[in-house]
């Protein structure tokens, strides 16, 4: 079964930036999926079971905390690694992210090299 990474962010330029950052993984057979809101993101997680999700916190409607909480605590999908992306590095947010079961927390603007390293590590791919 191929590996999948899902990017969930309501800002098109962030999705594009992440897609471009991760495109070298496509050569390794990784499928890059995207969603522009939490509700669609959750549906894709249910259907596709990506190994890794880059999940924005601040989105209209269902935010990243809600999505993460459902995936980790209600659906018990421990095999889905969730990286919360936030423009705010506030401790309160980090605390809340950990409470809903986020695996790690990254602040925007992110460092593309960090994203590549983290993705490679989680998917077990040598880049």
**Tens-place pLDDT, residues 16-75:** 999 999 999 999 999 999 999 999 999 999 999 999 999 999 998 999 999 999 999 999
- Locate 45 and state its tokens: 């997680």
- CA-CA distance, 125 to 99, in Å (whole number)? 29
Q: What is the pLDDT of residue 11?
A: 95
The domain containing residue 27 runs over which residues? 4-123
Q: Averaged over 87-103, what is the pLDDT?
A: 80
> What sign results for the dihedral spanned by CA atoms 93, 52, 47, 74?
negative
Residue 70 C-alpha from the chain's centroid: 14
Q: How confident is the model at residue 88 (pLDDT cuts 50, 70, 90)?
A: low
Q: How many C-beta atoms lie closer than 10 Å to residue 117's C-beta?
A: 12
Task: Name the DSSP class of 126.
Answer: -
- CA-CA distance, 77 to 117, in Å (whole number)? 23
Do the beta carbons of residue 57 and residue 85 sit within 8 Å?
yes
pTM, entire model: 0.94
Which CATH number fits the domain that encloses residue 75? 3.40.50.2300
Secondary structure class of 9 (helix, strand, coil): coil
Q: Number of folded domains in the chain?
A: 1
Cα–Cα distance list, 1 to 31, 120, 125 (Å): 11, 17, 14
- CA-CA distance, 2 to 48, in Å (whole number)? 10
pLDDT in tens, 6-16: 999 999 999 99
């Amino acid at each position: 079964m191929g590996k999948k990474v899902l990017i969930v962010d309501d800002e098109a330029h962030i999705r594009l930036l992440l897609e471009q950052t991760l495109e070298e993984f496509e050569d390794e057979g990784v499928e890059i999926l995207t969603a522009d809101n939490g509700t669609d993101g959750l549906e894709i997680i249910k259907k596709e079971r990506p190994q890794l999700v880059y999940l924005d916190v601040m989105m209209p409607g269902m935010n990243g905390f809600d999505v993460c909480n459902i995936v980790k605590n209600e659906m018990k999908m421990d095999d889905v690694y969730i990286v919360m992306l936030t423009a705010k590095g506030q401790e309160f947010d980090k605390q809340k992210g950990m409470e809903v079961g986020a695996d790690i927390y990254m602040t925007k603007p992110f460092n593309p090299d960090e994203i590549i390293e983290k993705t490679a590590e989680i998917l077990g791919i040598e880049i």
